[in-house]
Amino acid sequence: MAALSAWFWNERFWLPHNVTWADLADPAPGVEYPKAGHLLSALPLALGIFAVRIFFERYIAGPCASILQIQMELSRRAQPNAILEKVFTSITKSPDSRHLEGLSKQLDWDVRKVQRWFRHRRNQDKPSTRTKFCESMWRFTFYLCIFIYGIRFLWQSLWMWDTRQCWYNYPYQVLTSGLYYYYITELAFYWSLMFSQFTDIKRKDFLIMFVHHLATVSLISFSYVNNMLRVGSLVMCIHDSSDFLLEAAKLANYARYQRLCDFLFVVFSMIFFGTRLIIFPFCQCNGGK
């Protein structure tokens, strides 16, 4: 493991010539560089964000859903059956004709009755529109707030207007409090999303979203340890610029404001295309020259 770590963090690959990790570990008095230990502060903050989310969904998003007349749907629950439950959780949620016929004979049920049981059981696990509304409202609020913070912070930074500044004097770039709070808050939020996946209703994209959150946490953590905070802050701001619009479109859809939903989705698509497929690749490449 030590050999693998030494190979991965090879100074010849990550750092400029004649610069070592030891140089960054012992800065001059009054100068602060990112350290791996700083990332640990994101974990208790993630728990705090998770607690705020629970409060927000219950006492803010929930009442908003009631005002918009988004009620909790009462789906018909499948009657308890140990055999079918074992098949549902361990083998398949949508049995084919062969499984249906076998279960029908084993339980002495009609095939259509077995099909109805599985349909009711699948619907039982689906999150209600109200639940999805509350989750989207929480993500919309966070993405909007962090985007406003990020754009206000970056507006005053040199690398916002000249991306070549992202690499000027690298890696001897001082860690400011604004960059630290921006990074740790973003990291803590994605940690909280990973935590909440295990308490929320399981969805079809559970594994995909878990891998997405894990990749995001890894990239944010890696860029922090490597002191790539300047370019990392631009990347995070670019991504946040469209995320809150997607959540706003979802909110409009759940509230049955279809025209507003369509408008917001068009705006989201335009900003997504402009920021992630034009600004992100071309400005970063030009700035790195």
Q: What is the pLDDT of residues 137-175, one digit of tens each?
A: 999 999 999 999 999 999 999 898 888 888 888 888 889
Residue 28 belongs to some domain of the structure: no
Q: What is the pLDDT of residue 74?
A: 56
Q: Based on the fold, state whether residues 133 and 221 are members of the same structural domain.
A: yes
On the CB side of 16, CA atoms within 13 Å amount to 9
pLDDT tens, residue by residue, 177-207: 999 999 999 999 999 998 888 877 667 777 8
Q: Based on the fold, state whether residues 176 and 113 are members of the same structural domain.
A: no
Q: Based on the fold, state whether residues 98 and 200 are members of the same structural domain.
A: no
How large is the average pLDDT for residues 204-213?
Answer: 84
Q: Based on the fold, state whether residues 49 and 188 are members of the same structural domain.
A: yes
Residue 16 belongs to some domain of the structure: no
Q: What is the pLDDT of residue 257?
A: 94
Q: What is the pLDDT of residue 286?
A: 53
* Angle formed at CA 205 by CA 117 and CA 265, multiple of 5 degrees: 110
Domain count, the chain: 2
Domain that holds residue 249: 45-70+129-286
Q: What is the mean pLDDT of the chain?
A: 85
Q: Based on the fold, state whether residues 66 and 153 are members of the same structural domain.
A: yes
Share of the chain above pLDDT 70, in %: 92
Q: What is the pLDDT of residue 289?
A: 41
Determine if the peptide bond prior to 95 is cis (ω within 30°): no
Q: Based on the fold, state whether residues 180 and 96 are members of the same structural domain.
A: no
Residue 140 belongs to some domain of the structure: yes
Q: Based on the fold, state whether residues 112 and 142 are members of the same structural domain.
A: no
CA 186, distance to chain mean position in Å, is: 9
Residue 204 belongs to some domain of the structure: yes
Cα-based torsion angle of the residue sequence 203, 207, 212, 213 in order, rounded to the nearest 10 degrees: 80
Nearest to 129 by CA among 55, 69, 78: 69
The whole-angstrom separation of Cα 96 and Cα 119 is: 13
Residue 12 belongs to some domain of the structure: no
Residue 131 vs residues 35, 54, 166, 216, 250: alpha-carbon distances, Å:
39, 12, 41, 25, 12
Q: Based on the fold, state whether residues 147 and 264 are members of the same structural domain.
A: yes
Task: Centre a 10 Å sphere on the Cβ of residue 251 and count the other Cβ atoms it contains.
Answer: 25
Q: Based on the fold, state whether residues 134 and 186 are members of the same structural domain.
A: yes
The whole-angstrom separation of Cα 174 and Cα 179 is: 10
The whole-angstrom separation of Cα 223 and Cα 108 is: 60
Q: What is the pLDDT of residue 75?
A: 59
Residue 40 belongs to some domain of the structure: no
Q: Based on the fold, state whether residues 279 and 152 are members of the same structural domain.
A: yes
How large is the average pLDDT for residues 219-237?
Answer: 91
The domain spanning residue 98 has which CATH number? 1.10.10.60
Identify the weakest region by mean pLDDT among 187-201, 235-249, 272-286: 272-286
Residue 283's pLDDT band, with cuts at 50, 70 and 90, is: low
Q: Based on the fold, state whether residues 55 and 177 are members of the same structural domain.
A: yes
Q: Based on the fold, state whether residues 104 and 196 are members of the same structural domain.
A: no
The whole-angstrom separation of Cα 27 and Cα 75 is: 61
Say if residue 114's pLDDT is above 80.
no
Task: Centre a 10 Å sphere on the Cβ of residue 224 and count the other Cβ atoms it contains.
Answer: 24
Q: What is the pLDDT of residue 284?
A: 55
Say if residue 78's pLDDT is above 70.
no
Residue 33 belongs to some domain of the structure: no
How large is the average pLDDT for residues 30-34?
Answer: 84
Residue 148 belongs to some domain of the structure: yes
Q: Which is more confident, 139 or 94?
A: 139
